[in-house]
Structure 1
Amino acid sequence: LYVHAPYIVNVATTNNRIRIPSRKLLQQHVDAAAEIGARGLIVHGGHVNKADDPEKGFDNWRKAIDGLTIDVPLLIENTAGGANAMARGLDRIAMLWDAISASPNADRVGFCLDTCHAHAGGIELAGLVERIRAITGRIDLVHANDSRDAFDSGADRHANFGQGHCDPEGVAEVVATAGAPIVVETPGGVDGQRADLDWLRERVG
């Protein structure tokens, strides 16, 4: 069982009216996830405003990790869009991880790799597992999704496998090599996701 933190959480922002409540809300969800025995809590990387120095956002993440009581692994998920996002693109993910690594709680933080977000964020799926591990040292969970929109579109719109723009071989490679649990977040309800799981099994085994 994995839990996803609310999308409104943004601990990176320099806006105190958003950042402080976000940290409180994130702690509440960490506590709740631990209480029900979840294997991890997923949270998006957040963003800073256009005029802000991204370094402030990375440091705000470090401060958040410093201040949290993390009784269940906190899994930061790569994001699809936003020029000022903390976890869009490998360079930003690397800077975020450098900042988090300075926290004494860094060992409680993991990574959730979303294939749709990577594709829409301008990251090729081929060889991605190796590149992410070179940055984070770990992949704790995969969100396996196709993308409704084109490469580097910045659009977070999931699609069923084979009906979107993600490289099918790239998706299968991520699933096969990540060595992590797989969650499918595709549309179509039970029938759509059953078909997507069958699609993955045909390619991954």
Structure 2
Amino acid sequence: MRIGAHVRQDEDPIGYGERLGADVIQMFLTDPQKWEKPPTHPRTDEIRNSPIDVVVHSSYVINVASLNNRLRMPSRNAVAQQAQAAADIGAVGLVVHGGHVRDGEDVNAGIVNWRKLFERQADKGGFPVPILIENTAGGDFAMARHFDAIDRLWQEVGDFGAGFCLDTCHAWAGGEELVGVVERIKAITGRIDLVHLNNSRDEFNSARDRHANLADGTIDPELLAEVVRTADAPVVLETPAEGLAEDLAYLRETAG
């Protein structure tokens, strides 16, 4: 079982991971709120040579599903750029949010746009790292909030080797029960490549993406530990920094 966290010190990600005793870290390679192309990381050799596994989280501005050309086209470009930057540091994957269409638009059209992302990249030889699609917390027109939508999405992208990132806060806030969640998702996708293990500050089906430390939120911590035990995937905590060390200790004690 490999457990770690999203680093909040991107200039020295391995050092931060070592201080946490992490087996895996997640990091950004560019400002997540902007469209900037990722620069070469100054610690590339250190990251590549470290025994700590690294996963990259893509920018939040990306929305591959969008029906708006002015958003969808730069999103496709950003995924390709950030996937290459992730490969350059030896990352094991790139996490990309499922995205959404606007209210009243056809969700199925957004799902088709996801397929087009993979089709276009396949013509160029494919992505250099796995693309891990993450479930999201809110939006009635989201690609990956409800599991029935994820099922439809996977019918379009599964053949391209798309990976899946399960976020526990997102599932809970999105209205999906966590009891048996691993089995339900694997029945749809056939895989879980990464777990974002987060408690939720808000109630079930709130559609709010606000993370809490494992013992402090509205989700029973034992449910979270059960996800870790059954997912058979690396685990990244995205919980508040002040309780992160306690979260890691809890997982090692209860889920190991």
Normalised to the residue count of structure 1, the TM-score between the two structures is 0.94
Corresponding residue of 2:150: 93
Q: 1:24 — aligned with what?
A: 77
CA distance in 2 between counterparts of 1:141 and 1:188 reads 20
Residues 94-173 of structure 1: matches in 2 within 5 Å?
Answer: 94-101=151-158, 106-107=160-161, 109-173=162-226
Q: Does the 8 Å contact 1:46/1:85 carry over to 2?
A: yes
Q: Counterpart amino acid of 1:89?
A: H
CA distance in 2: counterparts of 1:154 and 1:201, whole angstroms: 29
Aligned-residue offset at 1:167: 2.4
1:4–1:41: 8 Å Cα contact kept in structure 2?
A: yes
Give the corresponding residue for 2:128. Answer: 71
Residue identity opposite 1:203 in structure 2: T
The match for 2:30 is none
Q: Match for residue 175 of structure 1?
A: 228
Contact 1:125 1:167 in 2 (8 A): no
Larger radius of gyration between Structure 1 and Structure 2 = 2
User: Is the 8 Å Cα contact of residues 116 and 158 (structure 1) preserved in structure 2?
Assistant: yes
Quote how far apart the aligned CAs of 1:203 are. Answer: 1.9
Secondary structure of 1:33's aligned partner: helix
Aligned-pair Cα RMSD in Å: 1.0
Structure 2 unaligned blocks of 5 or more: 1-53
**In the alignment, does 2:102 pair up with 1:45?**
no
TM-score (norm 2): 0.76
1:203 aligns with 2:254: yes
Rounded Cα–Cα distance in structure 2 between residues aligned with 1:67 and 1:27: 10
The letter of the residue matching 1:158 is H
1:55 alignment counterpart: 108
State the 4+ residue runs in structure 1 displaced beyond 4 angstroms: none
What CA distance in whole angstroms lies between the structure 2 residues aligned with 1:78 and 1:36?
A: 25
Structure 1 runs not aligned, ≥5 long: none
Q: CA deviation at 1:188?
A: 2.3
Q: Deviations over 1:20-42 (max 9, x none)?
A: 01100111001100111000000
Equivalenced residues, count: 199
